[in-house]
Structure 1
Amino acid sequence: MTKTPVRSLYFENAIGRIWEEPECFLRLEYRAGPRETLQFRALLTHAGQALTRRRWAKILVDQREMAPFNASEQDWMTNEWLPRAVAEHGYRYGAVLVANNVFARLAMNQYVMATRNLTHTYRTFEAEDEAMAWLRAFE
C-alpha cells in the first residue's frame, strides 16, 4: 500500500500559514483581517527561508481571504522582499489564488506591475486545481 504524500506545516502566525507541499512548492495562505507589520514581514521572510531550505522556486499564494495590502506592505514587498526572494532564495513562479476582496485584487495587480522587471513570473487563478497544474509544469 502506497502512502499518499501530505503537506507539512512550515510556519504559522496571526497573518497566515506556510505549507510545504509534496509536489515541491510552498503554499502561502493569508488569513482574513488586518495585518501587523512585524508578523506580516515574518511570514514572508520565512517563506523565503523555506524556498532556500528546500531549493524550491515556486509558491502557491492563497489570497482568497486576504485584506488589501497597505502602502507600507506594498512598498516593502516591492522594494525589499521580492527582489531578495528572487536573488537570494531562487523564487521564480507564483501562482496566486485571487482575493475575494476587489481592493485586495487591485493592490496585487499594482504589485505585479511594479515588480515585472524581476526574473519572476506571477499568474493569477480563480481555481486552485488550475493554479497547482500551472506550478507543476515548471521543474
Structure 2
Amino acid sequence: MLKPSPRTLYFENSIGRIWEEPQGYVRLEYRPGAREMVQFRALLTHLAQALLRRQWSKALIDQRAMAPYTPAELDWMTNEWLPGAVRDCGYRHGAALVAHDVFARLAMNQLVMANRGLAHVYRTFENEAEATEWLESVGS
C-alpha cells in the first residue's frame, strides 16, 4: 500500500504558515500575537497564489491561536482579498478552526457576514477531524 504524500510547506512568515495538503486543499495556520499589516497581506496573498497554482478551491484556516483581526485587516480582507480570491483564484470553500479568543471569533463572524454575497462557503469547526472531513466532502 502506498503511503500518502506528505504535506508541503508553501510559505511561512511571522504571521503564519501555509501548507499544501495532499488531500487537495491549502492549510493556513495563524501564529499567536499581533500582526504587522505587510506580513499579513503577504501571507494571504500567498494563500491565494497557492490556490491558483494548484487550481484548488478549498482552504483549512486554523485560527485557534489567532489574535482578533484589526479593523484595517478586516477592511482589506472584506473589500479586496476575499472577493479577489473568489473571483481570480477559484476559492470556494473555507473550513475555519475557531479561535480560542472570543474577540477573534467575533471578528471572523464580521468577515463572514460582510461577504455573504460571494460564491464562497465558510464553515466553522471546533474539531479538526470534522473540518477536514467536510473539506474533503465538498466539490473541488
Judge same fold: TM > 0.5, yes or no: yes
Separation (CA, whole Å) in 2 of partners of 1:52 and 1:3: 26
Task: Return the letter of the residue paired with 2:92.
Answer: R
- Structure-1 residue corresponding to 2:95: 95
Moved over 4 A (4+): none
Deviation at 1:138, TM superposition (A): 1.5
Stretches of structure 1 that go unaligned for 5 or more consecutive residues are none
Rounded Cα–Cα distance in structure 2 between residues aligned with 1:90 and 1:2: 30
Counterpart amino acid of residue 77 in structure 2: M
Q: Deviations over 1:44-84 (max 9, x none)?
A: 00000000000000000000000000000000000000000
What is the TM-score with the length of structure 2 in the denominator? 0.98
Where 1:108 maps in the other structure, the secondary structure is helix
2:56 match: secondary structure: coil
Distance in 2 separating the partners of 1:27 and 1:4: 17
Q: Secondary structure in 1 aligned to 2:80?
A: helix
Equivalences, count: 139
Percent of matched pairs sharing the same residue: 65
Aligned to 1:118, the other structure's residue is in SS state coil
TM-score (norm 1): 0.98
**Equivalent residue for 1:27?**
27
Q: CA RMSD for the aligned pairs?
A: 0.6
